[in-house]
Structures are given as C-alpha cells and as structure tokens.
Amino acid sequence: MNDLIPHLTVFLLVLVRVSAFFATVPFFSYRTIPPQVKITLALVLAWMMYYTIDVEPFAFNDDYILLVVKEALVGLLLGLMGYIIMSAIQIAGSFIDFQMGFAIANIIDPQTGAQSPLIGQFFNMLALLLLLAIDGHHMILNGIYYSYQFFPMDQFPSFMNENFPQFIITTFTAVFAIAFQMAAPVVATLFLVDLALGITAKTVPQLNIFVVGFPIKIGVSFLVLFTMMAVMIQVIQKLITIMIYGMRDLMAILGGG
C-alpha cells in the first residue's frame, strides 16, 4: 500500500489538470455533455497519460497540496484561454444583432447556460460543427497532453515572465480583430441601409420608416450572411487555429519559455 501511494499522487495530479481543463475549454465544458461522460473521459485520459509521463513519484506532504492547487490553476487557465479566444464568435454575433435589431431577443445558450445573441448562437453551432469536422476536439486533447512538455508537473508557473502581459494583450487584440472581421460585412451593409432609409424618410415623410425598415434590414442581413458564408467559415477555422496555438503559447510562457 505504501508503494502504491506515490504512484497515486502522480495520477491525481494528472487527473486534476485534465478535469480543470475540461471544466473551461470549449466543447468539452458544454452543459449538453453529461457530467458522467466528462468524469469518465477525464479518468480514462488521465490514466492513459499517466503511463506516458516520465516523472518521479511525489510524497504526500504539505508541498503536494500546493502542487494540486497549481495543477488545477494550470488546467483552468489553459481551458479559459481557449474559451476567451472562441468568445470572439459571441462578440461578432452581438455586433450583428445590434445592427439588425435582434439585440432585444437574446436566448439562453444550452451549451454554456448564458444569454447568447441569435446570430451568435448560429455562429456557435457553425463553429462547433466545424471544430468536429476538422478534428479540432482531437487537437484540444493533444493540447492538454503536450502541455506537460511545455509545463512539467513539478514546475510552478512563471507569472513574472515579461512575455506574459504582452501575450495577454496580443490575444485580446486578436479576439476583437477577428470578431470585427466576422461582423464587418453585415455591419457595413446595414450602415448603408440605415443611410438609405434615412434619406428615404426625409424624401418621403409619409412613409413609416420604422415599419418598413425593420424587415428590410433583416432581409439584407440574411442575404449578406448567405453570401459571405464561405468567408465566415474560413474566419472561424482561423479562430480555431489561433485557439490551439494560443493554448500552446500560454503553456510555453508559464513554463518560462
């Protein structure tokens, strides 16, 4: 029994990082996946990773508690980084909904449990299907596996790394830039529609522009979305790629790289 405890301590550390990662990372953290499935997947993945990680067993002492907290923090940060990058889809949907007039019709996202714009929910479903189509869920699992190469189990994070603030700023800038790229075609077109409606309202004051303008803006928005769908898919695919590389770079920076 005493010989088994050191090996269990290593397995527990792996399980903590994987479980914390599944709690925040896109796709695996969605509420539509039953908790029993998440727990089983975390246990199986941690058991498989345990036999591939070359690390000395840890003694169960006060320092081990700090290692458990550190592993939970690393898993949460890694998954949260992916969630923040994928939130660009929600931001783009909010921009489009505001211009379309759908901002008052937010719905509950069954995947996250939060309020989501209508177009943002559509983009979310599109991103989820694209993630599965390009094997993104396997790349996410590869990310948590290879995180031990960039950030070993017996190492503590280096938050004082001078590259860490720059990485956070660059990531947030990229998120808003991609959100703007996704929303720009619809927002720019609706701006021209608003301009045309404003001129029409001044030219023909008898016309109730509020009654006429609302369905026109909705119809034009759907037409632009249908026309730009191929570009939207390419941008979402780029966003998924940025998410994978962003999680890798975060681990490298926290590991002192």
pLDDT per residue as tens digits for the range 43-64? 999 888 888 887 777 777 778 8
Examine residue 121 and state whether it is found in any structural domain, yes or no: yes
pLDDT per residue as tens digits for the range 165-174? 888 888 888 8
Closest CA to 148 of 8, 52, 19: 52
Whether residue 55 contacts residue 152, with contact meaning beta carbons closer than 8 Å, is answered with: yes
Question: What is the spatial distance between Cα 164 and Cα 256, in angstroms, rounded to a whole number?
Answer: 10
Closest CA to 27 of 108, 88, 82: 82
Cα dihedral: 178, 115, 109, 180 (round 10): -10
Examine residue 41 and state whether it is found in any structural domain, yes or no: no
Residue 107: DSSP 8-state: E
Query: pLDDT > 70: what percent of the chain?
Result: 89
Whether pLDDT at 1 is above 50: no
How many domains does the chain divide into?
1
Examine residue 82 and state whether it is found in any structural domain, yes or no: yes
Whether residue 64 contacts residue 152, with contact meaning beta carbons closer than 8 Å, is answered with: no
pLDDT per residue as tens digits for the range 63-114? 888 888 888 998 998 999 888 888 888 888 888 888 887 766 666 655 556 6
Residues whose CB falls within 8 Å of the CB of residue 230, separated by 6 or more in sequence, listed in order: none
Q: Which residue range(s) make up the domain with 206?
A: 78-254
Across 180-184, average pLDDT: 88
**Residue pointed to by tokens 């966003």:** 239
pTM for the full predicted model = 0.82
Whether residue 85 contacts residue 242, with contact meaning beta carbons closer than 8 Å, is answered with: yes
Examine residue 98 and state whether it is found in any structural domain, yes or no: yes
Across 7-32, average pLDDT: 86
**Residue pointed to by tokens 């029994």:** 1
Query: pLDDT > 90: what percent of the chain?
Result: 5
Whether pLDDT at 3 is above 60: no
